Structure 1
Amino acid sequence: MDGKAGKGKDDDIVYPSGLKLALIVMSIFIGMFLVSLDRLIVSTAIPQITNEFNSADDIGWYGTAYLLTSCAFQLMFGKLYKVFSIKTIFLTSILLFEAGSAVCGAAPNSVTFILGRAIAGLGSGGVLSGVMAVIVYSVPLHKRPKYQGFFGAVFGIASVAGPLVGGAFTTHVTWRWCFYLNLPLGGVVMAIVFFLLQIPDRPSTQIPLKDKLQQLNALGMLAILPGVICLCLALQWGGTTYAWSDGRVIALLVLGLVFLVVFALIQVWKPEQATMPPRIFIQRSIASGFWVSCCTGAHMTMLLYYLPIWFQAIDGVSAVDSGIYLLAMLMPVVVASIAGGGLTTRIGYYAPFLILGVCLSAVGAGLLTTLEVGASAGKWIGFQIVYGFGLGFSTQAPNMAAQTVLPREDVTIGASLMFFGQQLFGAVFISVGQNVLDNQLTNRLAGIPGISRQVLESTGATELLNLIPAKYHATALGAYNDSLRMCFQVALIMACLSILGALGMEWRTVKKNLPPKKPDGERAAEEGKGEGCSSENEAQETDEKDRDGGAATAVSTVSTAATRTVSHTEEMTEQKTETGKAEAKGITV
């Protein structure tokens, strides 16, 4: 049941319920799934794409173009969602993503394909922030951790499905369907959001267009966009396309840092129009969450990128099988994300799960550094499980903190900051890992005839061992294993550093404004008087159960892999609500 809320008042918002909420939640998670899938689906299609376009020199741009626009515009989308209509910006983001996918699918040459990837990346940045914005205006705060758990589950499933789906389409149909797949599903998302999503007017959306444009902080945008682009290009090219001492790489690094410093100064100079207001960034939980997001982006990306290389080069399996082996990591991510969200909804606090998660991630990353040639399946499966559970418990906590400590109007800015840190550090540490691997291999294989840095840089990860004489094969395999372990050690360092951010997180509860439980008769009478009125601070239990049941059912359809876990969590939560609620409300810091 819907109605007009007060103009931007936090305590007057009317949340959707029942089937309407279910469809909205399902649609935004489909959008999230498509964006997450698109990041990795191209990996197994690249060989066929380069064969068709004769574009081996453009391989780096296929990933870089997507990354540049997604990362560069991430902070801007946070401000756009605050100043303009959330529904309009979200639909525009989906449309951009769809347009980019269509261009990629129909591309007649490599240049057009790269352009499509850039457009899709731009849209993906808006979709990520938009999912958070829609959740904020669709679900009460104390129920959001459950949906944040699904957010992490969707990411985990998409990470597994991306390379597998890409490989299947490329092998059995055509690589172009890796991108055409987005069109019908994205159309469904747009239709549901257009017809069902109703967000009340907010004070920031009612000001004149001229004032809105001033709020976007054009000077800040002119600094952050080239700054991020220069930095990402330097990190993508440094040590691979060009040497780190090359003038182009040095110039890009210097320009990137200068632009980022200028951006920071502009934020301090004009805080009322800042893209990232200092008052938000210096808030303790936001700063801590940003640090955790940066470290998580670093160690997660490194392990997702280099662990498959270990499977292929050291264990000798195919690219598809290496993706399947990652299920040992990513399925625990799904389970822990959903379980952590459900438990946070029950007890109200997300900080304990964040601390547990970063500690488990560090332990799991540490165990992965011990992998050796001939390691048993039990080891690499068990080590991944530990790491995966840690990642699942901790990944969504920074976004949950932003929703808890910030006013609703600022949540999209806080969420975009978390996504920005995760993406930027992910890009940085892919490059760091590549340089670590190249340097280690060069040093460890120096004594083998015919092996030089030039040979290493021009040879595929799994083809290197084929170039080495048979009598040196065992030595080279051990050197390759030790070099990859150094990459895992970098991931371990970042996982350990994330603990500092987790310990700095405030212990805030998502149940801080819940009303006390009342007798059944009194509660029923009040529900009869207030039928149709629901707010973030005064949500009726009966309406919440109706919404939760419908929404959880719909969300579970996004991925059948998570259905049983979701159902079990929901059932246990509902059975224990009456007996445990008084205890949950009695928790103090």
Structure 2
Amino acid sequence: MPSDPTPKDPKQNIQQTSSITNAIPPPDPTEPSPNPGSQYSTPQWLLVALAVYSSAFFYGLDTTIVSVCQAPIVSRFGNVDKLGWLGIGFPLGSIATIAAWSKAYAMFDTKHMYIGSLVGFAAGSALCGGAPNMAGLIVGRVWAGAGGAGMYLGQLNIWSANTSLGTRSLYISGGGIVWGVGCILGPVIGGAFADSGATWRWAFYVNLVLFGVFSPVYLFVLRSHVPRPGEGVVERVKEMDWVGIVLNAGLYTLFVIGFTIGGTVWPWSDGRTIGTIVASGVLLVLFILQQKYCFLTSEPNRIFPTRFLRSRTFILLYIAQSCDSTTLAMPLYYIPLFFQFTRAETAVAAAVRLLPFVVVNIVTVFANGALLPKFKYYVPWYIVSGILNTVGGALFFGTLSQSTSTGAVYGFSILLALGTGLVQQTAYSVAAAKAPEHVPDAMGFINSAQIGSVVVALTLTSLVFQNVGFNNVRSALSGLNFDDAEIRAALDGTKSRVLESGAVSAEVRAQVEAGIVDAIRWSFITALLAGVIGLVAALLMRWEALFVQPKAEEANRKDDA
């Protein structure tokens, strides 16, 4: 059995070259992939690269920019009980639509899909900036997240269609670098807007700059790439797995609702909590059955690329990518929070504490993209990554306290930066090399792991932080007349009477801060578990040489069962 079975249905064959018309024939799979930007002049290619990378940057920026805007938003709208949705809404919109985007990129013009995602991202951002209430802001976050997922997946497909096998990992790694830079700068830029006369609204309006500045490039320079030329749009729309799309979006939405509100706004014993979690499980079962038996769809058109579940390599890549993305998300949210509570730093100053993490992560991602095609074997990168992530997660979980030095936190975070950077974008390159005839599906498969894991990780980590922190702080404030809402406001870093100067004695305040730091420490158990699981997945991977010429690569393939 071949290592990665891919049915040879001609409708599923994806061209590996970009063309402005449908007259250019599909490439011969035995020939090397096109040179980078071969369909463009050098100035055109530079413009396309700058515009496409900019979309990845803004997607990363919006992933974390709201983390330090929460206090002024709550001051404006109230609804502290809905605060968690500001962070989770964006990745929720992404994971709820990523499978649909993936399938659409395999069926429709890449350029048109990409521009459509940009419009969606800009529209959601505009709604966030002009939101009249918390509900409108949350809807805008979900909407922008859906558009952002299409942007990120679009840039992966653009690189896959226009770069050679030997350089593809470098371009894809570049996307990971600028996305990571955006994630890291999100809290800094968001805090700067929130503390300025521009207000927190410009933390969302700034995304409109992307669409305004680069629209000419997207519209007039970027060229079309039609995976299935000659077929009508209506026929392709009918082929979309609409039942699968709805089930996929519903199960993630109910999962987030159940575990974000459950135990906080709704008690665990509340029928709404139980019903929401059960409904999420039911939709998961229905989705699995619908995909397995192709109910109201067909095997080639079902939204989840089940063909990859027949490959051990793809299954392990999915697990490893999920673990790495989980470990990457943890420091971004909880290291600034640690410095805010233990060093009384402003949101912007606390965000700057991420610089060692981001610098090392960016350099490592870039090194991986440049060296992976030369070393050819990808398994060693995953093994080293798993070890570093496990050690870094264990140090955070095992030793973090109020007295932990700044240097120690930097050291722990650098271990995670190295571990995550080593394989942050590797799975995309490996997946594209293993399934050259199904690149959009392969990109979507890995992207669902990357984004889905962030949604699940943030949801479960928030659950741990909120419940452990709430119990710790409530115990410290026992008998002092603070209600549950004020305790939860303290945990969210918003303006709370608990943290006001003189509201409690120095001794009680120290106990409150110790309780919150303990909750942050417990939150890193997610990173520790992700490191261990990622290491196990790496050890189970099959050693093989990739990024070689097709004939040599075929000789290297073994039974993947």
Q: TM above 0.5, one fold?
A: yes
1:387 lines up with 2:416 in the alignment: yes
Q: Distance in 2 between matches of 1:9 and 1:214?
A: 29
**Contact 2:388–2:415 under 8 Å retained in 1:** yes
Report how far residue 28 of structure 1 moved.
0.9
Shift in CA distance, 140/247, structure 1 to aligned 2, threshold 3 Å? same
1:487 lines up with 2:536 in the alignment: no
Partner of 1:416: 444
**Contact 1:104–1:112 under 8 Å retained in 2:** yes
Partner of 1:428: 456
Partner of 1:241: 265
Post-superposition Cα deviations, 1:423-481, rounded to whole Å, max 9, x if no partner, equal: 23322232322332344345556376337893633434556566653334555544443
Partner of 1:498: 534
- Give the counterpart of 1:6 among 16, 20, 25: 25
Report how far residue 246 of structure 1 moved.
1.7
**Contact 2:122–2:144 under 8 Å retained in 1:** yes
Partner of 2:331: 303
Partner of 1:35: 59
Q: Distance in 1 between matches of 2:505 and 2:302?
A: 60
Pairwise CA RMSD: 3.0
Residue pairs, 1:516-535, within 5 angstroms: none
Partner of 1:232: 256
**Contact 2:369–2:426 under 8 Å retained in 1:** no
**Contact 1:100–1:117 under 8 Å retained in 2:** yes
Q: Which has the higher mean CA deviation after the structures are superposed, 224-233 or 434-443?
A: 434-443
**Contact 1:355–1:394 under 8 Å retained in 2:** no
1:289 lines up with 2:314 in the alignment: no
Shift in CA distance, 20/118, structure 1 to aligned 2, threshold 3 Å? same
Partner of 2:7: none
Post-superposition Cα deviations, 1:313-336, rounded to whole Å, max 9, x if no partner, equal: 223322211111111211111010
Q: Which has the higher mean CA deviation after the structures are superposed, 79-88 or 473-482?
A: 473-482
Shift in CA distance, 508/199, structure 1 to aligned 2, threshold 3 Å? farther
Tell me which amino acid in the other structure corresponds to 2:423.
Answer: S
Shift in CA distance, 295/512, structure 1 to aligned 2, threshold 3 Å? same
- Give the counterpart of 2:275 among 232, 244, 251: 251
Post-superposition Cα deviations, 1:477-526, rounded to whole Å, max 9, x if no partner, equal: 4444333222223321121111122223344444321799xxxxxxxxxx
Q: Distance in 1 between matches of 2:516 and 2:83?
A: 24
Residue pairs, 1:428-447, within 5 angstroms: 428-441=456-469, 444=472, 446=475
Partner of 2:117: 93
3-state DSSP of counterpart to 1:42:
helix
Post-superposition Cα deviations, 1:44-69, rounded to whole Å, max 9, x if no partner, equal: 23332333345545434433443332
Q: Distance in 1 between matches of 2:470 and 2:547?
A: 55
Shift in CA distance, 60/36, structure 1 to aligned 2, threshold 3 Å? same
- Give the counterpart of 2:70 among 46, 71, 76: 46
Shift in CA distance, 448/229, structure 1 to aligned 2, threshold 3 Å? closer
**Contact 2:121–2:144 under 8 Å retained in 1:** yes
Tell me which amino acid in the other structure corresponds to 1:343.
Answer: L
Q: Which has the higher mean CA deviation after the structures are superposed, 259-268 or 180-189?
A: 180-189
The sequence identity of aligned pairs, in percent, is 27
Report how far residue 72 of structure 1 moved.
0.5
- Give the counterpart of 2:479 among 446, 450, 455: 450
Report how far residue 92 of structure 1 moved.
0.5
Q: Distance in 2 between matches of 1:396 and 1:453?
A: 45
Structure 2: where are the runs of 5+ without partners?
1-17
Report how far residue 90 of structure 1 moved.
0.6
Tell me which amino acid in the other structure corresponds to 2:334.
Answer: Y
**Contact 2:62–2:183 under 8 Å retained in 1:** no
Report how far residue 229 of structure 1 moved.
1.5
Q: Distance in 2 between matches of 1:209 and 1:33?
A: 31
1:366 lines up with 2:394 in the alignment: yes
3-state DSSP of counterpart to 1:43:
helix
Shift in CA distance, 163/132, structure 1 to aligned 2, threshold 3 Å? same
Partner of 2:9: none
**Contact 2:33–2:164 under 8 Å retained in 1:** no
**Contact 2:32–2:165 under 8 Å retained in 1:** no
**Alignment coverage as a number of residue pairs:** 519
1:357 lines up with 2:385 in the alignment: yes
Partner of 1:378: 407
Shift in CA distance, 486/43, structure 1 to aligned 2, threshold 3 Å? closer
Partner of 2:144: 120
Give the structure-2-normalised TM-score: 0.84
Shift in CA distance, 205/49, structure 1 to aligned 2, threshold 3 Å? farther
Shift in CA distance, 485/117, structure 1 to aligned 2, threshold 3 Å? closer
Q: Which has the higher mean CA deviation after the structures are superposed, 299-308 or 488-497?
A: 299-308
3-state DSSP of counterpart to 1:243:
coil
Q: Which has the higher mean CA deviation after the structures are superposed, 58-67 or 364-373?
A: 58-67
Tell me which amino acid in the other structure corresponds to 2:348.
Answer: V
Structure 1: where are the runs of 5+ without partners?
517-536, 538-584
Post-superposition Cα deviations, 1:220-244, rounded to whole Å, max 9, x if no partner, equal: 1232121222112212212222122
Partner of 1:313: 341
**Contact 1:438–1:453 under 8 Å retained in 2:** no
Shift in CA distance, 234/104, structure 1 to aligned 2, threshold 3 Å? same
Q: Which has the higher mean CA deviation after the structures are superposed, 183-192 or 247-256?
A: 183-192
Partner of 1:459: 490
